[in-house]
Amino acid sequence: MVISKRDVHAEPELAAQLGIDIEQLRERLHVRDASGRMLSGDRAFAALWAATPGQRWLARLVRSMSWLTGPLYKLFARLLYRWNRRRGHW
């Protein structure tokens, strides 16, 4: 799998191209998988880890415990987003 990184802060027009609000992009990790599906949050991390040798076990763990990892990710992402906003990073 080929992974390429695009930064919405360096390329703000990406938000419009993806049809996703820029604040949503800032709050959560977003990944497009090999089939073209847009994944976010814990599912995006699982997709990245599944494509990373030595970290595939993390992908399996996250996928098997999505009932826990989903809400935990949302809470962490919200807190991190608010912290970044207060610090003036955007």
The verdict on pTM exceeding 0.85 is no
d(CA 31, CA 70): 15
pLDDT band at 1 (very low <50, low <70, confident <90, very high): low
Query: Which pLDDT tens digit goes with each residue over 11-41?
Result: 888 888 888 888 998 899 998 888 889 999 9
Of 24, 28, 26, 33, whose CA–CA distance to 4 is shortest?
33
- Residue 63 contacts residue 46 (beta carbons within 8 Å): yes
Sign of the torsion formed by the C-alpha atoms of 75, 77, 80 and 83: negative
Q: Is the pLDDT of residue 60 over 60?
A: yes
- Residue 40 contacts residue 50 (beta carbons within 8 Å): no
